[in-house]
Structure formats: structure tokens, C-alpha cells
Amino acid sequence: MSYPENIENDTLIISVNGDVDLENSDNLREQVSKALEANTAVSLNMSEVSYIDSSGVAALIESKQKAEEGGKDFKIIKPSESVISVLQMAKLDAFFIIEN
Amino acid sequence: MSFKEFHSTIKNLKHIRQFAEQELLKNSVPQNIINEIKIVIGEATANIYKYGYLKDEDVKNKILAKVLVVNDEIEIHLFDNGVKVDKSMVKPRDLSEVISNQVKLDLTLLENS
């Protein structure tokens, strides 16, 4: 399973939706990894994410690290309440570049 | 009290969260509280799946979920027959750091004798 993608202003936007948990966090990690190889800027639109667990957060952290290693831009845009509350709980809201 | 037994599969982790959410909604628990409880249940059941049953989806591997709401107290019980927790590896953490002031949380690990 892969999430929908589109390009806006030279940024690949991946629209993540539903639950991001142990079942599909590897898919997200792989999709972002491939996207970062082919694009200079990748953003995750997380407005339609209803739940995210620690495996999903780990995928986000690894994606950001991979982007930094490659000199790429990585952002989270429009995070849902579920996403932002988990990032705040994990004290990671300042770790990511987040655009609302 | 409501309870339901689930086959321990990666797909059922979501179904366990949904079961708990439905039961809490029936008891008029506010959605923001439910969302926090779902995070706790999600992490606990993922640990059962990963470390208790070692991701083995054998049909004998079950997770029993019980939800009990009495007045303003919520009890969630999760039972499994997987690998026992090595208590020496459990590092206590101040739960007030990670749970909002709307939720007071007690966590108890029980094991079969």
C-alpha cells in the first residue's frame, strides 16, 4: 500500500491517511525513503491521519534523519490533532519542521 | 464490563483499539480522553504482538481485552499468554510526563503463577 503523491512547487507531497501503526509504518518509511532519493523536498500532509503510534513516529524521525543526511528538505504539513498531540507528548514537536 | 478476544495479528491491533473506543463511547467518555487511552492501548498491544508473541500469528496466540467504566474510573485489562515480561528490564517512568492532567493512569503488570 502506498499513499497518494503529488508535486507542488518542486516539493513532493505525500498525503498520509488513516492509522499509522505497526501494520503500515514500514510502508510509510519506505515510501518516504524512495521519495527522498528522487526529490529535493518531501512533505507529508498528515491532516487525515487518525492515529499514530511509536512505530509511526519512528518512521518520521528516520525520514527526517535521511533527509538531513542527503541535504533534502523534509516537512510535516497540516498535522491532525492526533498527530500533533503524540508529537507533543513525545516532545518532538520542535524536532520537526511543521507547517499548518 | 465488556470483553472480547482477538487473534494476535498485526491487523487486529487496530481492531482492539476500535473495540475499546466503541466501549468507551458507549459510556460517554469524552473523545479527547479516548484518544489518549487509545495510544496507551496501542502501545501495549503492539508490545504483546512484538515481544509477547514475537510476531507469531499462530491461531493459539490470543489477546483478551476488557473494558470497565465505573463512575469516573476506566479500567482496561489486556491479557495474553506470551513470553513473560522480564521485570528487570522494566524502567519505571514518571507517567505524568506523558499523560495529560485530564487522565490519571495506573499501570499494573500481572503474571500467571
pLDDT digits (tens, 9 = 90+) for A10-37: 999 999 999 999 999 999 999 999 999 9
Q: What is the pLDDT of residues A42-88, one digit of tens each?
A: 999 999 999 999 999 999 999 999 999 999 999 999 999 999 999 99
Q: Domain tally for chain B?
A: 1
- Tell me the C-alpha distance between A87 and A91, whole Å: 6
Task: Please list every residue in chain B whose beta carbon sits closer than 8 Å to the beta carbon of residue A89.
Answer: 39, 98
Average pLDDT over residues A86-94: 92
- Tell me the C-alpha distance between A34 and A30, whole Å: 6
For A82, name the nearest residue in chain B, comparing CA atoms only.
B35
- What is the domain partition of chain A in residue ranges? 5-99
Residue-range definition of the domain harbouring residue B64: 2-97
Cβ separation of A19 and B14 shorter than 8 Å?
A: yes
In angstroms, how far is the first alpha carbon of chain B from the final one? 25
Q: Tell me the shortest Cα–Cα distance from A23 to chain B, in angstroms.
A: 6
Does residue B38 form part of some domain?
Answer: yes
Handedness of CA B20, B106, B43, B82 (dihedral sign): negative
For B55, name the nearest residue in chain A, comparing CA atoms only.
A22
Q: Tell me the shortest Cα–Cα distance from A8 to chain B, in angstroms.
A: 32
- Tell me the C-alpha distance between B42 and B96, whole Å: 18
pLDDT for the residue B84: 87
pLDDT per residue, tens digit, chain B (113 aa), is 899 999 999 999 999 999 999 999 999 999 999 999 999 999 999 999 999 999 999 999 999 999 999 988 999 999 999 998 888 877 776 666 655 555 555 666 677 65
The answer to whether A23 and B9 have CB atoms below 8 angstroms apart is: no
Cβ separation of B43 and A54 shorter than 8 Å?
A: yes
For A23, name the nearest residue in chain B, comparing CA atoms only.
B10
Does residue B60 form part of some domain?
Answer: yes
Cβ separation of A22 and B13 shorter than 8 Å?
A: yes
A21 touches chain B (CB under 8 A): yes
DSSP tally for chain A: helices H, then strands E: 3, 5
Q: Which residues contact A69 (CB under 8 A, 6 or more apart)?
A: none
Among A17, A24, A50, A51, the residue to mutate for chain B (most B Cβ within 10 A): A51
Task: Say if domain A5-99 classifies as CATH 3.20.20.30.
Answer: no
Alpha carbon distances (Å) from A68 to A8, A61, A72, B6, B8: 21, 11, 6, 41, 37
Does residue B113 form part of some domain?
Answer: no
Type of residue at B19:
F
How many residue pairs bridge chain A and chain B with CB atoms within 8 Å of each other?
A: 33
What's the CATH code of the domain at B28? 3.30.565.10
